[in-house]
Chains A and B, each alone.
Chain A
Amino acid sequence: MSERFAKDLDEIDDLEDLFEHAPCGYVSAGVDGRIIKVNATFAGWLRLDKADLIGRRFQDLLNIVGKIYYETHFAPLLRMQGFFHEVALDLVGADGTKLPVLVNAVERRDEAGNMRFTRITIFNASDRRQYERDLLEARRAAETANANLLELNRTLEDRVAEAVEARVRSEEALHQAQKMEAIGQLTGGIAHDFNNMLAIILSALNLLERRLAKGEDVAPLLAAARESAHRAASLVQRLLAFSRRQPLAPEPLCPNDMVRDMSELLRHTLGEAVSLEAVLAGGLWHVHADRNLLENAIVNLAVNARDAMPAGGRLTIETANCHLDDAYAAEHAIKAGQYVMVAVTDTGTGMTEETMQKAFDPFFTTKEVGKGTGLGLSQVFGFVKQSNGHIKIYSELGHGTTIKLYLPRFYGTASAPAPKASSDVTLPSGREVILLVDDDERMLSLTASMLRDLGYGVVETARGAEALDKLQAHPEIELLFTDVVMPQMNGPELAKEALRRRPGLRVLFTSGYTRNAAVHNGILNPAMNLLQKPATVEQLARKVRAALDDELDPHRHR
């Protein structure tokens, strides 16, 4: 044996060894798909002899899922694209054990393109499949955890929102309760004034009746009654506005405006024995606070002051811009800087040292049961702290008390001032001529004088038939203002005939019925303009103006 031949043999042996014992399985399949060669590694995995594998097809060695997918997916793929890569399949060994493998296959062709054989390379994928399973498991766990976390977050947000809402609700309830308590205290003082106003109105009406009977001038009496009624109405309005439940929200406010707006209410609250004085600083800065709460605070301080002056005295509300310096701020744990001060001073009993100590405590009161709750100052304190402000009591027994609120200056442009109370607003009026019809003579003349007061010309009558004559006689009439329910000819009948004669005429009905009742009883058509009795001057003025301006008036057919 030549040396060279021996060397070649060695090399062949070496290659053969590499093929047989490579760390992967090798399979060659012929054109018909049958195995023609297989290495020892692969046969060993299946616990079969190499000879047993010759002539079988690769797919026959797979589990059922592998068989199906091999036939339906991978064999077609191999045929069409000439190879497939990294297909995960399970081999089934002679003893039934499964071996996860990764399979690559490639078709080998000769130069003419004819298929020679298919080379299939198989890698043991037990570890990798285990990693994959672990990975999938971990991913599923992560997804579950994530879903749980999301769920938790979602409910957490909800829960926090719920708690906050509950807190806000109970705070609002507390504010409201406290306000109602203050109202209770207010109305005591107000009832007296209210009675006075009603007395003025009643006596004016009495006089009116008599003078009307004698045909005398009643204008001054009407004016007095009207003025008194207006004041009563505005007082009620303020009380209602104050007692209304409102959401809490800070806004830029001018304390001077607020004190001015409240002065009427306060004056009535304090009663005649207490004089009220407001000392309002010029050029006062704005503050950023909840209007409702600041109002409430001022009322509370005023009520406390009144209670401290049972025999009467002087109440002063003062405002000022001021600067709290570093030393003061540090001492009271607030920020140094610019503040707006609102001080309420009385000339009452004053407080003992002990009362001063406890005055801000909730439920601390020195008043008898039914008169005090001990919640007023604690609310004021809460409001001031919440607004980053400061509150201070100065009191001298037997001389009086000053309570000072400091609210931080608001550096911004304030929004438009709140609309003024309606009594200050000029009422809509006009100079047109109105035909007024009402079978109730007292109502007729009352309404007529209100309309005249507003500047209108009035032609009045208590009967429908007469109204038609007047319409004829006064071409300047622009509005028919009639009661709905009248004997003989009712309002709608009158309007119909009036419109027939004067198509451009505007019509306004008035009735003690509610609109719904009038419509329901078939007296009124739902589109008609109705002023409900009893009406305030303001409602009357608006409705008449609207009818004349042709807003909402379906009776105007030009």
Chain B
Amino acid sequence: MNARQRNNVNVIGAGSKTIVFAHGFGCDQNMWRFVWPAFADGYRIVLFDHVGCGNSDLQAYDDGKYATLDGYAEDVVEICRALGVSGGVFVGHSVSAMIGVLAARRAADLFDDIVMVCPSPRYIDDAGYTGGFAEAQIHELLDFLDANHMGWSQTLAPVIMGRPDRPELAEELTNSFCSTDPEIAKKFARVTFLSDNRADLSAVTARCLVLQCSEDVIAPQCVGEYVHRQLPNSEFVLLQATGHCPNLSAPEETVAAMKAFLGGGNS
């Protein structure tokens, strides 16, 4: 199985510079539907689904490989290599911001610029570090996912996966945008919310943009600022948009900030 099929890679446009968009936990490449068209003129656009999400090959999911974010970063590198990406732009939302950091560590030549949308290198508070979640809260999340295996797929999954128990509703309610395999989603949540990539930030050589939302419960402002401080070469932009998905809730503002950072986008 090649990387393009495995990760449901879509390539749009033929610009000489490539932008790779990576979605975060909870959705798939549809996350970028309001953003990527703004760059289609000057760039080659690469969209993909992480394994276990969207239309990726679920068979390719491997417990061992995807037990850390590094497994996902390996896929990013493979996709870029397959497409001959070099000196490109990586745009990662949420957990994928850190996946981009890890991919860049594996292959520094891939990206000149990294745009981090609502990044967090660690979600759990630590001595001298505020991640936004007490350890107990993350464990409440993980326990909820584990203990309510059935409950999860009966309550959350209907929206995410359609309703196996009520197929007549599935048509109407099936979410064609952010489909997720419930079992894999659980594991992805665990990897995401237990990750700690603070030590990787200082090694990033690419120019970085940190896009921070207001009132983001997942990645609070102090976390974005921390990321900005640790990166050797970064800009920080605080968006007016609230929540965790400015790419959906405030695409214009997001695009504007990215364009300002990338300098018009044509190279």
Cβ-based interface call for A469 (8 A): no
Of B64-72, B74-82, B153-161, the stretch lying at the interface with chain A is B153-161
Cβ-based interface call for A32 (8 A): yes
Minimal beta-carbon separation of A87 from chain B (angstroms): 6
Cβ-based interface call for A88 (8 A): yes
Cβ-based interface call for A33 (8 A): yes
B245 in contact with A87 (CB, 8 Å):
no
Minimal beta-carbon separation of B258 from chain A (angstroms): 19
Cβ-based interface call for A386 (8 A): no
Q: What residues of A have a CB within 8 angstroms of the CB of B248 in the complex?
A: 75-76, 79-80
Q: What residues of B have a CB within 8 angstroms of the CB of A74 in the complex?
A: 159
Minimal beta-carbon separation of A121 from chain B (angstroms): 15
Minimal beta-carbon separation of B240 from chain A (angstroms): 9
Find A68's partner among B31, B175, B218 (CB 8 Å cutoff): B218
Q: What residues of A have a CB within 8 angstroms of the CB of B249 in the complex?
A: 33, 75, 79
Interface residues of A in 43-88 (CB under 8 A from B): 57, 59-60, 63-65, 67-69, 71-77, 79-81, 84-88
Cβ-based interface call for A133 (8 A): yes
Residue of B nearest to A136 (CB): B150
Of B3-11, B37-45, B83-91, B133-141, the stretch lying at the interface with chain A is B133-141
Q: A57-B215, A72-B24, A132-B154 in contact; A64/B133 too (CB < 8 A)?
A: yes
Cβ-based interface call for A385 (8 A): no
Residue of B nearest to A87 (CB): B159
Cβ-based interface call for B255 (8 A): no
Cβ-based interface call for A431 (8 A): no
A71 in contact with B140 (CB, 8 Å):
no
Interface residues of B in 70-128 (CB under 8 A from A): 94
Residue of B nearest to A62 (CB): B217
Find B156's partner among A67, A69, A136 (CB 8 Å cutoff): A69
Find A86's partner among B158, B160, B215 (CB 8 Å cutoff): B158
A133 in contact with B140 (CB, 8 Å):
no
Q: A73-B156, A87-B159 in contact; A80/B30 too (CB < 8 A)?
A: yes
Q: What residues of B have a CB within 8 angstroms of the CB of A67 in the complex?
A: 217
Find B243's partner among A33, A68, A80, A133 (CB 8 Å cutoff): A33
Minimal beta-carbon separation of A161 from chain B (angstroms): 37
Q: What residues of A have a CB within 8 angstroms of the CB of B176 in the complex?
A: 81
Cβ-based interface call for A358 (8 A): no
Cβ-based interface call for B178 (8 A): yes
A73 in contact with B159 (CB, 8 Å):
yes
Q: A67-B217, A72-B25, A133-B151 in contact; A81/B175 too (CB < 8 A)?
A: yes
A64 in contact with B140 (CB, 8 Å):
yes
CA distance A77 to B156 in the complex (A): 12
Q: What residues of B have a CB within 8 angstroms of the CB of A71 in the complex?
A: 26, 216-218, 243-245
B155 in contact with A87 (CB, 8 Å):
yes
Q: How many A residues are at the interface, by size bracket? A: 20 to 34
A76 in contact with B217 (CB, 8 Å):
no
Q: What residues of A have a CB within 8 angstroms of the CB of B178 in the complex?
A: 73, 76-77, 80
Find B218's partner among A57, A72, A88 (CB 8 Å cutoff): A72
B159 in contact with A76 (CB, 8 Å):
no
A77 in contact with B243 (CB, 8 Å):
no
A76 in contact with B141 (CB, 8 Å):
no
Cβ-based interface call for A501 (8 A): no
A88 in contact with B175 (CB, 8 Å):
no
Query: How many residues on B have C-beta within 8 angstroms of the other chain's C-beta atoms?
Result: 36
Q: A57-B215, A73-B26 in contact; A80/B177 too (CB < 8 A)?
A: yes
A33 in contact with B242 (CB, 8 Å):
yes
Cβ-based interface call for A244 (8 A): no
CA distance A68 to B192 in the complex (A): 12
Q: What residues of A have a CB within 8 angstroms of the CB of B159 in the complex?
A: 73-74, 77, 84-87
Q: What residues of A have a CB within 8 angstroms of the CB of B155 in the complex?
A: 87-88, 132
CA distance A132 to B158 in the complex (A): 14
Residue of A nearest to B25 (CB): A72
Q: What residues of A have a CB within 8 angstroms of the CB of B24 in the complex?
A: 72
Find A75's partner among B173, B175, B244 (CB 8 Å cutoff): B244
Residue of A nearest to B26 (CB): A72
Residue of A nearest to B23 (CB): A76
Cβ-based interface call for B144 (8 A): yes
B137, B144, B159: residue with the most chain A Cβ atoms closer than 10 Å: B159
B158 in contact with A76 (CB, 8 Å):
no
Cβ-based interface call for B229 (8 A): no
Residue of A nearest to B185 (CB): A73
Residue of A nearest to B28 (CB): A76
Minimal beta-carbon separation of A80 from chain B (angstroms): 5
Cβ-based interface call for B27 (8 A): yes
Cβ-based interface call for A332 (8 A): no
Minimal beta-carbon separation of B158 from chain A (angstroms): 6
Minimal beta-carbon separation of A66 from chain B (angstroms): 10
CA distance A88 to B25 in the complex (A): 19
Q: What residues of B have a CB within 8 angstroms of the CB of A69 in the complex?
A: 26, 156
Cβ-based interface call for A139 (8 A): yes
Minimal beta-carbon separation of B67 from chain A (angstroms): 20
CA distance A77 to B218 in the complex (A): 17
A32, A74, A80: residue with the most chain B Cβ atoms closer than 10 Å: A80
Residue of B nearest to A137 (CB): B150
A77 in contact with B175 (CB, 8 Å):
yes
Q: Give a binary string over A514-541; 1 marks a CB under 8 Å from any B CB, 0 the rest.
A: 0000000000000000000000000000
B31, B144, B216: residue with the most chain A Cβ atoms closer than 10 Å: B144
CA distance A86 to B170 in the complex (A): 12
A76 in contact with B177 (CB, 8 Å):
yes
Find A76's partner among B26, B137, B150, B156 (CB 8 Å cutoff): B26
Q: What residues of B have a CB within 8 angstroms of the CB of A139 in the complex?
A: 150
Minimal beta-carbon separation of A203 from chain B (angstroms): 86
CA distance A133 to B150 in the complex (A): 9
Q: Give a binary string over A110-152; 1 marks a CB under 8 Å from any B CB, 0 the rest.
A: 0000000000000000000000110010011000000000000
Minimal beta-carbon separation of B50 from chain A (angstroms): 13
Minimal beta-carbon separation of B232 from chain A (angstroms): 29
B177 in contact with A77 (CB, 8 Å):
yes
Cβ-based interface call for B33 (8 A): yes
Minimal beta-carbon separation of B135 from chain A (angstroms): 12
Q: Give a binary string over A387-411; 1 marks a CB under 8 Å from any B CB, 0 the rest.
A: 0000000000000000000000000
CA distance A139 to B217 in the complex (A): 36
A136 in contact with B151 (CB, 8 Å):
yes
CA distance A33 to B217 in the complex (A): 14
Q: A72-B218, A75-B249 in contact; A87/B156 too (CB < 8 A)?
A: yes
CA distance A60 to B150 in the complex (A): 26
Seen from chain B, the residues whose Cβ lies within 8 Å of a Cβ on chain A are 24-27, 30-31, 33, 94, 133, 137, 140-141, 144, 150-151, 154-156, 158-160, 173, 175-178, 215-218, 242-245, 248-249
Can you list 16 contacts pairing A with B, beta carbon distance less than 8 Å? A33-B249, A60-B217, A65-B144, A67-B217, A68-B141, A71-B216, A71-B217, A71-B218, A71-B243, A72-B24, A72-B26, A76-B26, A79-B245, A79-B248, A132-B151, A132-B155
- List 5 A-B pairs, minimum CB-CB distance, nearest first: A88-B155, A72-B26, A71-B244, A79-B248, A80-B177
Q: 13 new A-B pairs (CB below 8 Å) besides A57-B215, A81-B175?
A: A59-B243, A65-B144, A67-B217, A71-B245, A72-B94, A75-B248, A76-B177, A77-B175, A77-B178, A80-B177, A87-B158, A87-B159, A88-B154
